[in-house]
Structure 1
């Protein structure tokens, strides 16, 4: 695992705040040279410690996101996860504890594509034992504390304006820009359009509307965190929003959302080790009076986070036909 120092951690936090911040601005905030920032970014990216990717806020385009669980025999978990990761409409593909379950999020462009995957392609395999899917009704804002390193004053210099989350009609050039940024969120403006100024305006427009979401994918192990887990909670309906906000505010939480289904709150937490995860479950979650049940599954392998591409060097098997 690539080691990181204070400059690396400052760069990672800076990119988390604004993944397209110019290296010159980040260098000024960190008090180092622009060449140092560029060199560190290149090293961390090549080592697979971080990636910058763009994704589409499907809610603003009328799409519904789904959280999916696939139970299967251990021999097909890796190839099924690999096949799911290669789909452009999936993100956050994980193989869970025991290697017999896959968790992923789906944001299909239309109901026919969603139904074909969930009711035809996945159940077709004799080694897929069970498939469940629940709609994500709304997410809660999270900021995993493990990524923080800058002071509040430094962070204020980098944080972009919040999006307006307004409906936006996309054209062919918008889709081309979104596809390019899904592969590399720091693709130069000169490669995104007929002119740098036009591309800059287009990206700004997409970000301002909230349609384009730029994320920093970081391997938590590089920051000293080795215990990730997916949680499914059953919460008293009247307290669901308050509980979702509380869980999202936990420093260990990297993702939290309200869903349909028997469990109605899903979350991902990142802890330093198994002991830290135990304390989180027994003290933080265990202390929430309105949480009736909690199901926990440690993440064995992250096959895909956001963006179009699977996580590099994931050691995946061959694609399962038809997925």
Structure 2
């Protein structure tokens, strides 16, 4: 992929897309003070080779599903092939190879009450090259989903964010997707709080709904006319269905961006063991760190997992020792650099 250098306008566009992933280029251009054509050209440049994508995401619990964070240790020579096999599975949203030559980490979804053992708990351990599988629930997400990494949400002023939101309130995308929490001031994940802890109401989807969600998971900016053509519904019906799904909280739009485009050369994963009485406080503190692109409380021997993005190795070291190491309540910490992303936001990386 061509090496890109992002300027202030590019970063403003990324921030605007997080505020409203389906905002018309016209409305974004008005907020950024440039022409429609300039915004469209910049977006398509960033979109090339999947460097940046707007994707539609769903809330697992509303679909009767749960998210798992899974570590797979395998024979080093087989790690690449196993990671690619996992990435081809529709239930995996992202898959990464870690340093050490034989470890994979991935996120997958399954029914909350499966009738039988699912892929990662049943089939993988019977693969000869797999040495161990450790799969744990994501109990609560503190960074990720509607709470975004500040690497892409620190370019616009509060007034610009308000203008984007006001515009969204007048259109068909009003609701949770348009009002996703955003801040104009670093640091990071926005805000330093978790996804609501209440139990969301379950939903029942029909074929049209599932078709829309499948298309938006690949490209959240797919035009209404194309969505209607793919699903067999009218544009008016598609508009109503998407508005209903966003208002209910089932659907939101996220921006997937390669961290290196923003100047972050080191990606890593870490697992923390935190004193249970301090777990929420530590998780919220971690969520405020600009180096954290993902953070969630999990089941298992460690109870907090985080995905890190750092400028370089020195910054990675400083973060581990000065920021994470200084948090009260952290008992143990394990980290591993990501050496290759095999799947991101539901898309295979070639």
Q: Same fold (TM over 0.5)?
A: yes
**Distance between the aligned counterparts of 2:235 and 2:46, measured in 1?**
27
Q: Is the 8 A contact 1:13 1:150 kept in 2?
A: yes
Which residue of structure 1 aligns with residue 312 of structure 2? 273
- Is residue 143 of structure 1 aligned with residue 135 of structure 2? no
RMSD, matched Cα:
1.9
Unaligned runs of 5+ in 1: 314-323
Quote how far apart the aligned CAs of 1:139 are: 1.1
Quote how far apart the aligned CAs of 1:301 are: 1.2
**Distance between the aligned counterparts of 2:57 and 2:279, measured in 1?**
27
- Is residue 251 of structure 1 aligned with residue 253 of structure 2? no
SS of the residue 1:107 aligns to: strand
Q: Is the 8 A contact 1:51 1:184 kept in 2?
A: yes
The superposition leaves residues 59-96 of structure 1 with CA deviations (integer Å, 9 ceiling, x where unpaired) of 12221111000011222222211111121211121111
Which residue of structure 1 aligns with residue 192 of structure 2? none
Which residue of structure 2 aligns with residue 318 of structure 1? none
> How many residue pairs get matched?
311
Which residue of structure 1 aligns with residue 250 of structure 2? 211
Q: Is the 8 A contact 1:81 1:94 kept in 2?
A: yes
- Is residue 79 of structure 1 aligned with residue 74 of structure 2? no
**Alignment CA distance shift 1:48-1:231 (3 Å):** same
Match of 2:207 among 172, 178, 184: 172
**Distance between the aligned counterparts of 2:248 and 2:91, measured in 1?**
21
SS of the residue 2:66 aligns to: coil
**Distance between the aligned counterparts of 2:112 and 2:28, measured in 1?**
40
Q: Is the 8 A contact 2:69 2:105 kept in 1?
A: yes
Q: Is the 8 A contact 1:162 1:208 kept in 2?
A: no
Quote how far apart the aligned CAs of 1:305 are: 2.0
Which residue of structure 2 aligns with residue 303 of structure 1? 342
**Distance between the aligned counterparts of 1:283 and 1:158, measured in 2?**
37
Match of 1:292 among 297, 319, 331: 331
After TM superposition, which residue ranges in structure 1, 4 or more long, deviate above 6 angstroms? none
Q: Is the 8 A contact 1:93 1:104 kept in 2?
A: yes
1:166-205 → structure 2 map (5 Å cutoff): 166-193=201-228, 194-205=233-244
**Distance between the aligned counterparts of 2:255 and 2:222, measured in 1?**
14
Q: Is the 8 A contact 2:19 2:179 kept in 1?
A: no
SS of the residue 2:30 aligns to: helix
Q: Is the 8 A contact 2:12 2:155 kept in 1?
A: yes
**Distance between the aligned counterparts of 1:156 and 1:21, measured in 2?**
13
1:307-322 → structure 2 map (5 Å cutoff): 307=346, 309-311=347-349, 313=350
Which residue of structure 2 aligns with residue 321 of structure 1? none
